Amino acid sequence: MQARSLNGCEISDDRDERLNMGCLNWSTIFLELKLKTEIGSGTGTWRQVGRLKVQRNRLPNALSRGADGGTTPLVALIVDSFAVEALKFAKEFNMLSYIYYPGAATALSLSLYLPKLDDETSCEYRDLSEPIKIPGCVPLHGRDLYAPAQDRSIQAYKLLLQRVKKFRFVDGVLVNSFLEMEMGPIKALTEEGSDNPPVYPVGPIIQTVTNSGDGLECLAWLDKQKPCSVLYVSFGSGGTLSQEQIVELALGLELSNKKFLWVVREPNSSSSSAAYVSVSVQNDVDDPLQFLPPGFIERTKEQGMVIPSWAPQIQILGHRSVGGFLTHCGWNSTLESVMHGVPLITWPLFAEQKMNAVLLSEGLKVGLRPTVHENDLVERVQIAELIKCLMEGEEGGKLCNNMKELQEAATNALKEDGASIKIIYQLVLKWRNLVQENQL
């Protein structure tokens, strides 16, 4: 959560000049709320969220400490989309209230549209025969909506519905996207006369450095490969596959005869997000490579490299040898691939990742999406065909060109006079003017 305070400064009235954010002399206070007790690794995700909500009562003291004894005006309280209950304190401290939505504008569109969809739909969304048409978005099948919406009877869905209904009462939503990537959703969200709160696309916001010195071995291996010849395979920090799927993926990579760099995590058949929600899953096994097919590492030692559990993804995606990314479609990974111009094989697992996969494969056409069979497996032959298509086929070339265009747009959005920076500038300027006019 963030509280931002502004001080007066001189600003040019010539809006054609390059923007200088430094002249605003604005400051940011990060409020860190620590739990009194640790949450056990076996605790359900939504119970963890419920317990975190208790900490909102500690926010007023944190805000008071952050206000420098009242000498610096607190202008805006910006909270993560999971912390909307804390926004009631914005009114108490006479602050504007904002949500930072770290995901896609498509997912934000669903969140704002969900109360209406809930009122108009009697069955489970996954049972709808026709795609759901959210304003501005690529039509989505109910089975592709984010995970909490897959069962309307459970507590997770009810909590989600309560939370997103509060989105409409904020002064604005900052979403981690940009116009060229999600033109339809962003235009619909910002359309004049809509009942949405003001929406500010400020992305792509990504981590630019890896906070670890590990991974030098895989980077050295990449240095020896030809440009754009390697497929990077990773399911993020929390994604897991079943044992059967790990075997199929391994044999598909081998069958493709293409170079690969694969981050392997131990299997979990009960939950594709097991490594994300449970610390214990990550610590049970010292060597996840033991779950690979017998002889796989020896047979593919000239073709690829496997890494247990973690790799420096930012450096890998930025390496000249990487020409494709088989990804779980988490939004952070998606934006990182866009910023480095790497086309995708989209393999969503949980959360809103299926929605992201639809956007990437059907909307933007920068990725290929495999078909999951009735046995819940993507089979080795299809995997090999997709890899070949991405890395050497005509369609793969088109995907690569589309991604390079998107990369250029993303880079431009973050330039000093780019669209996302202008939006942040204008928002901060608005806050500054309110302070000067004594309206806050």
DSSP letters of 346-364? E---STTHHHHHHIIIIIS
Please report the pLDDT score of residue 277 as a whole number.
45
Residue 270 has pLDDT above 90, yes or no: no
Please report the pLDDT score of residue 435 as a whole number.
86
Q: 229: which 2 tokens?
A: 């010849």
In 3D, which of 271, 282, 279, 284 has the Cα closest to residue 39?
279
Domain 2-103+165-203+414-436 carries which CATH code?
A: 3.40.50.2000
User: What does the pLDDT look like over 17-47, one tens digit per residue?
Assistant: 334 555 556 666 666 655 445 545 444 554 4
Please report the pLDDT score of residue 216 as a whole number.
86
Please report the pLDDT score of residue 18 as a whole number.
39
- Mean pLDDT, residues 333-361 taken together: 98
- Mean pLDDT, residues 336-341 taken together: 98
| Separation of alpha carbons 364 and 337, rounded Å | 13
Amino acid at 208: T
Amino acid at 19: L
Q: 259: which 2 tokens?
A: 């170079």
Domain boundaries, the chain: 2-103+165-203+414-436, 216-409
Q: Strand (E) positions, 102-251? A: 172-175, 199-201, 230-234
In 3D, which of 150, 156, 153, 114 has the Cα closest to residue 135?
114
Amino acid at 285: V
**Which range among 141-145, 270-274, 366-370 shows the weakest confidence by mean pLDDT?**
270-274
Architecture of domain 216-409: 3-Layer(aba) Sandwich (3.40)
Please report the pLDDT score of residue 53 as a whole number.
53
- With beta carbons less than 8 A apart as the criterion, state whether 54 and 33 touch: no
| Separation of alpha carbons 124 and 111, rounded Å | 16
Please report the pLDDT score of residue 342 as a whole number.
99
- Mean pLDDT, residues 75-98 taken together: 91
pLDDT classification of 122: cutoffs 50, 70, 90? very high
Please report the pLDDT score of residue 206 as a whole number.
94
- With beta carbons less than 8 A apart as the criterion, state whether 240 and 273 touch: yes
- Mean pLDDT, residues 228-246 taken together: 96
Please report the pLDDT score of residue 395 as a whole number.
96
Q: What share of the chain has pLDDT > 70, as a percent? A: 79
Q: 388: which 2 tokens?
A: 């070949």
pLDDT classification of 155: cutoffs 50, 70, 90? very high
Q: What is the mean pLDDT of the chain?
A: 86
Our CA dihedral for 344, 348, 354, 356, rounded to 10 degrees, sits at -40
Please report the pLDDT score of residue 65 as a whole number.
61
Which pTM was predicted? Answer: 0.88
pLDDT classification of 384: cutoffs 50, 70, 90? very high
Supply the DSSP symbol for 138: P
User: What does the pLDDT look like over 56-80, one tens digit per residue?
Assistant: 566 666 666 655 555 678 899 999 9
| Separation of alpha carbons 89 and 96, rounded Å | 10
Rg (CA), the chain: 23
Give helix then strand counts, H and E, for the chain. 17, 12
| Separation of alpha carbons 223 and 61, rounded Å | 52
Please report the pLDDT score of residue 374 as a whole number.
81
Residue 6 has pLDDT above 90, yes or no: no
Per CATH, 2-103+165-203+414-436 and 216-409 having the same topology is answered: yes
Please report the pLDDT score of residue 209 as a whole number.
77
- Burial of 347: CB neighbours in 10 Å, binned 0-12, 13-18, 19+: buried
Q: What share of the chain has pLDDT > 90, as a percent? A: 69
**Which range among 141-155, 221-235, 263-277 shows the weakest confidence by mean pLDDT?**
263-277
Residue 164 has pLDDT above 50, yes or no: yes
Q: Is the preceding peptide bond at 308 cis, omega within 30 degrees of 0?
A: no
- Burial of 435: CB neighbours in 10 Å, binned 0-12, 13-18, 19+: middle
Residue 16 has pLDDT above 50, yes or no: no
CA distances from 114 to 5, 80, 171, 331, 360 (A): 33, 19, 20, 20, 22
Please report the pLDDT score of residue 279 as a whole number.
42
| Separation of alpha carbons 78 and 396, rounded Å | 40
Can you state the angle between helices 105-120 and 155-165, rounded to 10 degrees? 110
- Mean pLDDT, residues 302-325 taken together: 97
Please report the pLDDT score of residue 354 as a whole number.
98
